[in-house]
Amino acid sequence: MTKEILCGKTVYDIHEMLRIHGYGVSHATQVANNLYKKRIPDIPLFRNIPGKLLRLLSSIADTGFSPPSRSEVSGDKTVKYLFTGEGGKQFETVYIPDKKRNTVCVSTQSGCRMGCPFCLTGRYGYHGDLSPGEIINQILSIPEAGRINRVVFMGMGEPMDNLGNVLKACRIITSEWGMALSPRDVTVSTVGITTGIIEFLEESDCNLTLSLYSPFAAERSRIIPAERKYPAREIIEILKHFPAGKKRRFSIAYVMIKDVSDTDSHLEELKKLLNGSDIRVNLLPYHTFSGDSANPSSEERMLHFRHSLVLSGISASIRRSRGADIGAACGLLASGLGREIN
C-alpha cells in the first residue's frame, strides 16, 4: 500500500485523512505539531499522540522528510543544499545565518521557465513544479531547521508560476498549527505575473518583492520576457493601492549593473515610478558568471543610488551579497547542478 505523505499537508488535510477512522481536528493538530513545530522525522517518535493513532499513522503514512543529498559551505558561512525530488528533479536551497536572522531561501520549481538571460536558473531550464511538501521539506530537513526564523521564496523558480503550491506552503509556514512564523518574516519574490500577484495579495499576508531590473518598460522586456504580458508599471500601481497594513512589506529588488541599470536616467525613472508609495527598494549587487560581459556597479554608485532614493522619500537599502563563492547568491542557483559538491 502506498503511504500518505504528511509533509505538505495542512491540518485540515490531515483531519480529512484521519476523520474516517474516528479522529477529530484536535488529533490532526497534534500530528501537525509533531511534524511542523517539533520537526520529528519518523512517525513512531511522535509525542503526545494516543498509541492507537500512532499505530494507525505508522501503517498508512510517512512524514515525507527527505534530507539534502549534497551541501557546500561558503566562506561567509552561507550553506547551499541540493535536493532531489519526485521524478529525479533537482533544486537548491540556501541557508543564510546572521546575528539575529537565520534565513532559508527556498525554491518553488526545479529550474524556471521565465527565460531571463541574466539568471543561471533560467538558463538551466524548467524541470517541474515543486509540491507543497517539497517546498516545506527544504525548511524542515536541513540541519539548521531549529534556528530558522525567516523564509524567503527567492530560490529556483517563479513562485507565481506555481502559485497554488506556494500559497499552501505559506499557510503551513505561518499557521499556528504549522511552523507559526509571522507573515512579516516570510517574503515571496516574483518577476511579475499580474494575475498571480493579485491572488497572492488577497490570499496571503506574506511580504512581496518584485524583481524589476529596469524602470524602463522597453528595456525590461528585453531581459524579463514576462514584462511583455505583465507590465511592471501596472503591478507597481496595484501594490501602491493595495491595503497592505502596517506589518506587510512590498519591495522592489533592483539589480545594479554597471552602465546598464545604474545610470542617472535609471535613477530618476525609478524615483518617478515609486513616487508617493511605501514600496521599499532593495539594491542588489550583480553577480557575474562564466561568459558574462556585464559588471556589477561600484559600491560608490550603489551608495549614491540609495542616498538619492532616500532623499526623495523612498525607503532604500543595499542588500549584502551572501554565498557568491559557492553559487548561492541571487541569480546563481543551478550553477552547482551537474557537478559534485562536498
Catalytic positions: 92, 330
Whether residue 214 contacts residue 261, with contact meaning beta carbons closer than 8 Å, is answered with yes
Instruction: Report the helix count and the strand count for the chain, using DSSP H and E.
Output: 11, 14
Angstrom distance (rounded) from CA 55 to CA 84: 29
The DSSP annotation for 233-285 comes to HHHHHHHHHS---SS--EEEEEEEBTTTT-SHHHHHHHHHHHTT---EEEEEE
- Determine the Cα–Cα distance for residues 33 and 36; give it in Å rounded to an integer: 5
Phi-psi group of 71: left, alpha or beta (phi > 0 → left; psi -120 to 50 → alpha; rest → beta)? beta
* 7, amino acid identity: C
Grid cell digits, residue 28: 490532526
What's the burial of 97, exposed, middle or buried (CB within 10 Å: 0-12/13-18/19+)? middle
Copy the grid coordinates of residue 39: 520537526
